[in-house]
Structure 1
Amino acid sequence: MLSHYLMPMMGRSLSATSLRRYAAAVPQPQLSEKDTTSDSLENARPFSEMPGPSKYELIRGFMPGAIGKMQKKYGDVFYFPSILGKPEMVIDLNPADYPIIFRNEGIWPERRGLETFAYHRNVHRADFFQGINGLVTTAGEDWAKIRTAVNPILMQPKNARLYLNTILEINDEFLERIRDTRDPETLEVPGDFHDDMNRLTLEGIVGVALNTRLGMIHKNRDSAECKLLLKSIRNFFDYSEDLEIKPSFWKIVKTPKFYKLMDTLDTLTDVCNTYIDRALEQIESDKDGKLTSEVGKEKSVLEKLLRIDRRIAVVMALDMMMAGVDTTSSTLAGILLCIAKNPDKQAKLFEELKRILPNKDSKLTIENMQNLPYLRACIKEGIRYHPIIAGTMRRLPTDVVLSGYHIPAGVDVSVSSNLLLRNEHFVKEPNKYMPERWLRNDAEGKKYQLENPFLYLPFGFGPRSCVGKRIVDLELEVTLARLVRNFVIEFNYSTENAFIPKIVFIPAIPLKFKFEERKE
């Protein structure tokens, strides 16, 4: 059981200095004085004058597309009142405010997490987690301690790339799955291909977190345990959307859906912990690392974190398995739709890949992956074109002025940057898939480059940026490279309204990609 491993703190102590050490692990847009200049608090309009919907309007009218409608009615910055136990919030769609927000976020930035998730760990299963709740539901020094332990392992690019062989092995199985399931006449995969992408990403996460294979793509695909895990992850996102995004009474009266979510989180915790226990047993039996070295695999994230703190190691492995599936698979789906609908860009990517992978069975290595700038540009542009989250959030420790309004400390501010990535006021030809806009020295791409670096924040910003970014980058790069090197990819259907918003945006159409074998 997980509770067996949640023992008193072990390993080295972490000083205040070391807690700050990795606060800027990911390169971020620079914050200049010019960027962050704002009106003085004395001259700002009072917070009470900020426009926004009433509580009644929120309950009656909240639905997909509601933010866009409210922007037209209230402007780029508007107010959500406290409702049904949820705190008040400011929606900010003005990019000029974003540098101000991030400059004032403090050394330990705070953002509102999933409150039902926090309830599960702090109240419902408090005896199980014993105060170690992971990065999503903690703040302040507790959050900093976990982040400081995790950053050197997950946020350094060179460390993430050590898992290349693991991701390659899983991708081999994924390509085999495509060849087995595509229609022999049309060469299209079934419409539920998103399920296969979920399995691919979950298998990759478990491979990195635990150095374990679940066999979800082929071997154990139909096992009751694997089906239960996938179903529970999907239920988690569905129930969380109803309780966290839509108006809900769960803080006042525990609703049937709230109890369904608690049951789902219980199941996820127990199933994931079964895999973690097995991995811990394997680590204990392989203390000299012979088994890992024999198969050419890097030590798991779990094993590396065990050297720092056993409790953090177990909870981080648990969080990686629960949170990384739909986010990565939806991102991959969006990128593939862009590649399939833009054959000229796909051909250009293929030529780059062919230079470092002359044959279909040529192997990606840490060294040759350094020479794939267009691959990374295709991924970044796909994420811009089909973002899977609206943005990020901050609860600022000091008063600030945003768009001329005095925002008191402690008010949640939603940095809804990703909702602007298809807005022609901020992005030149936003509905054009143009990977070249991400290439610094590309003459064609220069005119398409984003002028405001704070518009593109797919993994968040600063110390609270996504801790799994480097692993996700690796998964996306390897998967897209292997797919384009092996297949000509087409999608012969409309991509209108391809995604619907949940906690993250997920595919809303059958993903019947055509994968035609390349002959060279």
Structure 2
Amino acid sequence: MLSRLLIKWDAIVERSLSSAALRGYATAVQQKQETQGTFTTNNWENARPYSELPGPSKYEMLRGILPGASQLFNQTILVRFFPIQILKPIPKCVFHKKTFIEIIRTMTHIYGDIYRFPSVFGRPEMVMNFNPNDYPIIFRNEGIWPERRTFGTLYYHRKVHRKDFFQDVEGLLTTRGEEWGKIRTAVNPVLMQPKNARLYLNTLLEVNDEFLERIRHIRDPLTLEVPDDFIDDINRLTLEGVVSIALNTRLGMIHKNRDSPESKTLLKEIRNFFALSEEIELKISIWKIIKTPTFHKLMKTLDTLIVLCNKYIDEALKRIDSDSEGKFTSEVGKEKSVLEKLLKIDRKIAVVMAMDMMMAGVDTTSSTLTGILFCIAKNPEKQQKLFEELKSILPNKDSRLTIENMTNLPYLRACIKEGMRYHPIIIGTNRQLPNEVVLSGYRIPAGIDISVASNLLLRNEKFVEEPNKYIPERWLRNDNEGKKYQLNNPFLFLPFGFGPRSCVGKRIVDLELEVTLARLVRNFMIEFNYSTENAFTQKLIFLPAIPLKFRFAERKE
């Protein structure tokens, strides 16, 4: 049964790849010359064909992942449908129960810095690239509307399963091409301009005041440590902040309504979304052939998130519609919500963007903040240096951050960047290029998924000086101490992606991290008296995997 289904879907995928390759197989001289001399025309002509790019066959992948896979297929099927081009044989079941990161690291050891990840069960073929010299070529050839493969299950949910709700307006997460470009152009002025993001400072300060009081309430009076499940409080902080910005609504998740069933369900389903998506999107799944139990669980989770998010959005819409003169916003003294600003552009886009902010902005920001706190807690001399900077603009613990005094906090921003380098939460990004390019001496056809796995190189001494040390000074332009630690390749550090396709919530996340870290360090001396080895586990993103028993000691000055 499995072999028949695999044959069927193998034929479908091969046809789609062939047509995509034929459409985009361009080799313009101008494009050859625009790779900044990395490959001359002579090098282009001497580049090796894509068919010679190393990598496992489909059978090898299945043999390495599925127990008993070698017995699933007879010799005739192997010869016909799994042409084997083996450089080094993959041991049986070597990938079984391994994370995607563990799999690709093993394959990098076998095949080198660039190799093919084969198409299996309807998943497109992908090129894994660990050569930073190729990254400028990839991004400089991405085209006007950069293409990257979206999550297939999320696309299915919005385009097929709940088409009645989305009505062909699926937002930035699942759209491509010109349609994506139109939405991105509409939302950029609201979300991507730093001056507009900073207008939400007072909103985030209000949320952070509650978070600091929560820490004081839950920490042990003797040890000053917070409970093991402190990640739940961090998640509540980030969700409360996102909803406050997106909808100008307070859910009360930090204190007032933290035990409400609705709040708990919302947080649970957001976590389920990341966990289930990892099972389907990063691991081998046959959901495109057979709708598996995990697939159905994910669809149910996404359905629940629509109901919960749309409830809050509907309440905000009613409030906005009934407040034509803007009295509500002026009474509260806050900036207009992202929802209200986007309503002036397109109502459906406004709703979907608000929903995406709630779904995608919690675990990502929480994991990033956790990684930064680990670094700050484990490096007290850097924390003290940050405290001195903060004290210069906040002489007292109750001094307030303002848009004006936040403009001169270079060490705060350096601490955040170095924390994101030390504990990245995603592997990197990917692109499908409109033209053929040469990467590491191989011709890569147009339309092939290329994974820029840059974040997995940020702790590699080949590319980063002293990679296992937390050195915020490496991000300070005029710091003599930090100059020797600076990254030489600007395409290596991509915490929010790159270019037009970078994370649309980057400015909001930056502000959230700056406000939260500044408020925490100004009020507390932060310690973590446990090992941070294996502190994160890979799901769709990297999530904390150990108890977050941070120690928050009150500062006396």
TM-score range, shorter-chain basis? over 0.9
CA RMSD between the two structures: 1.1
| Equivalent of residue 547 in structure 2, options 494, 510, 513 | 510
Q: In structure 2, what is the Cα distance between the partners aligned to 1:142 and 1:515?
A: 47
After superposition, what is the alpha-carbon deviation per residue over 1:393-440, rounded to whole angstroms, capped at 9, x for unaligned? Answer: 001111000000010001000000000000000000000000000000
Q: In structure 2, what is the Cα distance between the partners aligned to 1:115 and 1:216?
A: 31
After superposition, what is the alpha-carbon deviation per residue over 1:344-403, rounded to whole angstroms, capped at 9, x for unaligned? Answer: 000000000000000000000000000100000000000000000000000111100000
- Which residue matches 2:6? none
Larger-Rg structure: 2
- Which residue matches 1:123? 160
Paired residue secondary structure (1:398)? coil
- Which residue matches 2:30? none
> Does 2:210 correspond to 1:209?
no
| Equivalent of residue 288 in structure 2, options 244, 251, 255 | 251
- Which residue matches 1:152? 189
- Which residue matches 2:348? 311
Q: In structure 2, what is the Cα distance between the partners aligned to 1:190 and 1:45?
A: 56
| Equivalent of residue 263 in structure 1, options 300, 309, 314 | 300
- Which residue matches 1:347? 384
Alpha-carbon distance, 1:58 to partner: 2.9
Is the 2:474–2:485 Cα contact (8 Å) retained in structure 1? Answer: yes
TM-score, normalising length: structure 1: 0.93
Q: Which amino acid letter does the alignment assign opposite residue 496 of structure 2?
A: F
- Which residue matches 1:372? 409
Is the 1:39–1:401 Cα contact (8 Å) retained in structure 2? Answer: no
Q: In structure 1, what is the Cα distance between the partners aligned to 2:410 and 2:433?
A: 36
Paired residue secondary structure (1:91)? strand
> Does 2:501 correspond to 1:464?
yes
> Does 2:74 correspond to 1:37?
no
- Corresponding residue pairs, total: 489
Q: In structure 2, what is the Cα distance between the partners aligned to 1:186 and 1:205?
A: 32
| Equivalent of residue 234 in structure 1, options 242, 246, 271 | 271
> Does 2:202 correspond to 1:165?
yes
> Does 2:149 correspond to 1:112?
yes
Q: Which amino acid letter does the alignment assign opposite residue 258 of structure 2?
A: R
Q: Which amino acid letter does the alignment assign opposite residue 475 of structure 1?
A: E
Alpha-carbon distance, 1:56 to partner: 3.5
> Does 2:447 correspond to 1:446?
no
Paired residue secondary structure (1:113)? coil
> Does 2:452 correspond to 1:415?
yes
Q: In structure 2, what is the Cα distance between the partners aligned to 1:47 and 1:341?
A: 46
1:138/1:34 CA distance change after superposition, 3 Å: closer
Alpha-carbon distance, 1:42 to partner: 2.7
1:36/1:353 CA distance change after superposition, 3 Å: farther
Is the 1:164–1:366 Cα contact (8 Å) retained in structure 2? Answer: yes
Is the 2:429–2:497 Cα contact (8 Å) retained in structure 1? Answer: yes
Is the 1:390–1:417 Cα contact (8 Å) retained in structure 2? Answer: yes
1:398/1:33 CA distance change after superposition, 3 Å: closer
Paired residue secondary structure (1:143)? helix
Q: Which amino acid letter does the alignment assign opposite residue 38 of structure 1?
A: F
Alpha-carbon distance, 1:128 to partner: 1.1
- Which residue matches 2:442? 405
1:372/1:273 CA distance change after superposition, 3 Å: same
Is the 1:36–1:100 Cα contact (8 Å) retained in structure 2? Answer: no
- Which residue matches 1:482? 519
Q: In structure 2, what is the Cα distance between the partners aligned to 1:42 and 1:228?
A: 58
Alpha-carbon distance, 1:309 to partner: 0.5
- Which residue matches 2:73? none
> Does 2:52 correspond to 1:49?
yes
1:52/1:156 CA distance change after superposition, 3 Å: same
Q: In structure 1, what is the Cα distance between the partners aligned to 2:332 and 2:279?
A: 44
Q: Which moved more, 1:484-493 or 1:42-51?
A: 42-51
Is the 2:244–2:250 Cα contact (8 Å) retained in structure 1? Answer: yes
1:184/1:35 CA distance change after superposition, 3 Å: farther
| Equivalent of residue 425 in structure 2, options 382, 388, 392 | 388
Alpha-carbon distance, 1:33 to partner: 5.2
Q: In structure 2, what is the Cα distance between the partners aligned to 1:167 and 1:142?
A: 32
Alpha-carbon distance, 1:270 to partner: 0.8
Is the 1:437–1:449 Cα contact (8 Å) retained in structure 2? Answer: yes
Alpha-carbon distance, 1:289 to partner: 1.1
Is the 2:35–2:137 Cα contact (8 Å) retained in structure 1? Answer: no
Is the 2:427–2:455 Cα contact (8 Å) retained in structure 1? Answer: yes
Q: In structure 1, what is the Cα distance between the partners aligned to 2:329 and 2:221?
A: 39
Alpha-carbon distance, 1:510 to partner: 0.5
Is the 2:437–2:445 Cα contact (8 Å) retained in structure 1? Answer: yes
Q: In structure 1, what is the Cα distance between the partners aligned to 2:341 and 2:556?
A: 42
Q: Which runs of 5+ in 2 are unaligned?
A: 1-32, 66-94
Is the 1:162–1:298 Cα contact (8 Å) retained in structure 2? Answer: yes
* Higher RCO (Cα < 8 Å, 6 or more apart): 1
> Does 2:331 correspond to 1:294?
yes
| Equivalent of residue 436 in structure 1, options 461, 473, 478 | 473
> Does 2:326 correspond to 1:323?
no
- Which residue matches 2:14? none
Q: In structure 1, what is the Cα distance between the partners aligned to 2:258 and 2:251?
A: 9
Is the 2:430–2:450 Cα contact (8 Å) retained in structure 1? Answer: yes
Q: In structure 2, what is the Cα distance between the partners aligned to 1:80 and 1:302?
A: 40
> Does 2:108 correspond to 1:71?
yes
After superposition, what is the alpha-carbon deviation per residue over 1:117-175, rounded to whole angstroms, capped at 9, x for unaligned? Answer: 00000000011110000101000111011101100000000000000000000000000
Is the 2:193–2:507 Cα contact (8 Å) retained in structure 1? Answer: yes
Is the 1:51–1:74 Cα contact (8 Å) retained in structure 2? Answer: yes
Q: Which moved more, 1:32-41 or 1:299-308?
A: 32-41
Q: Which amino acid letter does the alignment assign opposite residue 347 of structure 2?
A: R
Q: In structure 2, what is the Cα distance between the partners aligned to 1:97 and 1:187?
A: 48
TM-score, normalising length: structure 2: 0.87
